């Protein structure tokens, strides 16, 4: 049995014996209909905890002269999200000059994109398959075994790498979605 939810770390402290107490804070709806499962896990006395950041940080390349992104993302006529290279607008025909800008997006937005949208896989790892299994209640250990991954930690690492890979695309999707929702 496992539970997955988004929470903030409200506090943590270390007592004199070296025991660490972690307090998480989450909206009441985050565990909606899962309080019985939480009670069963508490009764077990011991649980395995994996804490990972829900913020996905990625690098966006920017044209140093125009300050425009080097690439952008859009849906093609088949509804598939693709990466499009910005045409060089600089008059300098020499080596392209780019700067890198750090961006952030929450993992839940990237996950919603990966679950609901069409996109070309950038590797042989399919994040959608993993996210579907997580939503169905499978543990990372079970999914790792099913996908013949080395370990649950390796699976989590691959999922984090995929989130970074698709973060820019997810951000573009989210902005379009927000615009559509406002209309």
- Confidence class of residue 59 from pLDDT cuts 50, 70 and 90? very high
What is the model's pLDDT at position 179? 74
CA quadruple 100, 104, 107, 111: dihedral positive or negative?
A: negative
pLDDT tens across 142-158, in order? 999 999 888 888 999 99
What is the model's pLDDT at position 96? 61
Q: Provide the mean pLDDT of the chain.
A: 86
Beta-carbon contacts of 88 under 8 Å, excluding residues fewer than 6 positions away, are 63, 96
Mean pLDDT of 37-56: 85
pLDDT tens across 82-139, in order? 999 887 555 555 556 888 999 999 999 999 999 999 999 988 899 999 999 988 888 8
- Confidence class of residue 32 from pLDDT cuts 50, 70 and 90? confident
Highest mean pLDDT among 17-21, 22-26, 169-173, 178-182: 169-173
Nearest to 63 by CA among 87, 43, 38, 33: 87
């Amino acid at each position: 049995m496992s539970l997955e939810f988004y929470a903030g770390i409200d506090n943590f402290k270390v007592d004199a014996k070296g025991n660490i107490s972690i307090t998480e804070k989450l909206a009441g709806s985050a565990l909606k209909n899962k309080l019985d499962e939480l009670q069963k896990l508490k009764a077990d006395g011991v649980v395995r905890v994996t804490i990972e950041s829900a913020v996905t940080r990625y690098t966006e390349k920017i044209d140093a002269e125009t300050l425009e992104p080097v690439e952008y993302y859009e849906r093609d006529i088949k509804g598939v999200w693709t990466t499009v290279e910005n045409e060089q607008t600089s008059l300098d025909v020499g080596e392209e000059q780019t700067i890198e800008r750090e961006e952030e997006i929450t993992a839940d937005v990237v996950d919603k994109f990966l679950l609901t949208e069409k996109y070309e896989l950038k590797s042989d790892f399919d994040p959608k398959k993993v996210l579907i299994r997580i939503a169905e209640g499978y543990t990372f250990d079970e999914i790792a075994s099913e996908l013949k991954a080395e370990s649950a930690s390796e699976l989590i690492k691959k999922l984090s790498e995929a989130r970074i890979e698709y973060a820019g695309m997810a951000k573009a999707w989210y902005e379009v979605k927000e615009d559509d929702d406002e209309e």
